[in-house]
Amino acid sequence: MGLFSKKTKQSAQRPVPQHIAIIMDGNGRWATKRGMPRYGGHAYGAETFRTIANYCKDIGVKYLTVYAFSTENWKRSQEEISTIMGLLGKYLQEALLDMEKNRVRFVFSGDLSRLSPELRDMCIQTQERSKDYDGVQVNFCLNYGGRDEIMMAARRFARDCMEGKQSPENLDEGLFSSYLYSAQVPDPDLIIRPSGEKRTSNFLLWQSAYSEYVFTDVLWPDFTPEDLEKAIAEYNQRSRRFGGVK
Ligand code: IPE
Ligand code: IPE
Ligand code: MG
């Protein structure tokens, strides 16, 4: 029986982080290594997402935040952007059909106004129709940027002040957090970046203040539940002090 069979997963005794975030990176290099055009890797990356999201649900992770497309990714070729957006549309269509069975709650983080109206509608529908599901909550970061999120929150808070609904004296970390896309979601415990890069690339700048990072050289399309378990094992070795003393 495989180490990560259903039975083992259910009887596993290790603690599982409440909130895992993943920068799904390395699709392009994965494709290039196989002599495929860069954008060919995104379809495989989408399959990996499906596997990992289901696995997170099985082991009891409450929140899974994934970085799918950044505010900077518009710099890529039109061909690559269209492939990614097309795959997202296809994925969401399937997610809408399988929703009953999967019981995954989807929340979208990012500026959806730049997406095509069809894709934006699908995001809104998926979020709306899955809002009562009790499986893992997937926060899907699409046209997301950490700086953009903080700026958007500052703008909304300033507007509320101008309209007399808020005042600057009231602003504290909790109140500011409630203006972010991630309002109601606890900060990520563990952030995983596959693909060998060691940077945040504008991901969860506010929320990652005390997150534990795990970097791995595995490219996202090759990332397996075993790799996730390795990251969780590394996380479980860490001593989180939040600025205090153990
Ligand atoms: C991540 O893979 C997917 C997106 C950023 C949309 P990349 O496309 O960045 O793959 P690499 O990093 O170039 O290999
Ligand atoms: C981060 O990866 C964004 C996503 C995975 C969606 P990038 O490939 O865009 O990051 P850089 O350019 O290597 O920093
Ligand atoms: Mg990349």
- For ligand 2, atom 11, which residue shows the shortest CA distance? 201
The closest of 174, 92, 83 to 125, measured between CA atoms, is 92
Task: For residues 144-154, give the mean pLDDT.
Answer: 98
Query: Of the residues 23, 25, 49, which should be mutated to test ligand 2's pocket, given the most ligand atoms within 8 Å of the CB?
Result: 25
Confidence of residue 147 (pLDDT cuts 50, 70, 90): very high
Q: Indicate whether 83 pLDDT > 70.
A: yes
Query: Of the residues 67, 69, 73, 208, which should be mutated to test ligand 2's pocket, given the most ligand atoms within 8 Å of the CB?
Result: 73
Q: Indicate whether 239 pLDDT > 90.
A: yes
Q: Is 73 a catalytic residue?
A: yes
- The three-state DSSP-derived secondary structure of 155-190 is HHHHHHHHCCCCCHHHCCHHHHHCCCCCCCCCCCCE
pTM for this structure? Answer: 0.95
pLDDT at 1: 37
| Averaged pLDDT score across all residues of the chain | 94
Long-range contacts of 40-49 (CB under 8 A, 24+ apart): 41/219, 41/221, 42/80, 42/83, 42/84, 42/87, 43/87, 44/221, 45/220, 45/221, 46/87, 46/91, 47/221, 48/24, 48/220, 48/221, 48/222, 48/223, 49/24, 49/91
Task: For residues 179-185, give the mean pLDDT.
Answer: 96
pLDDT at 9: 53
Q: Indicate whether 3 pLDDT > 50.
A: no
Q: Is 25 a catalytic residue?
A: yes
Query: What is the Å distance from ligand 3's center to 134 Cα?
Result: 32
Task: For residues 29-38, give the mean pLDDT.
Answer: 97
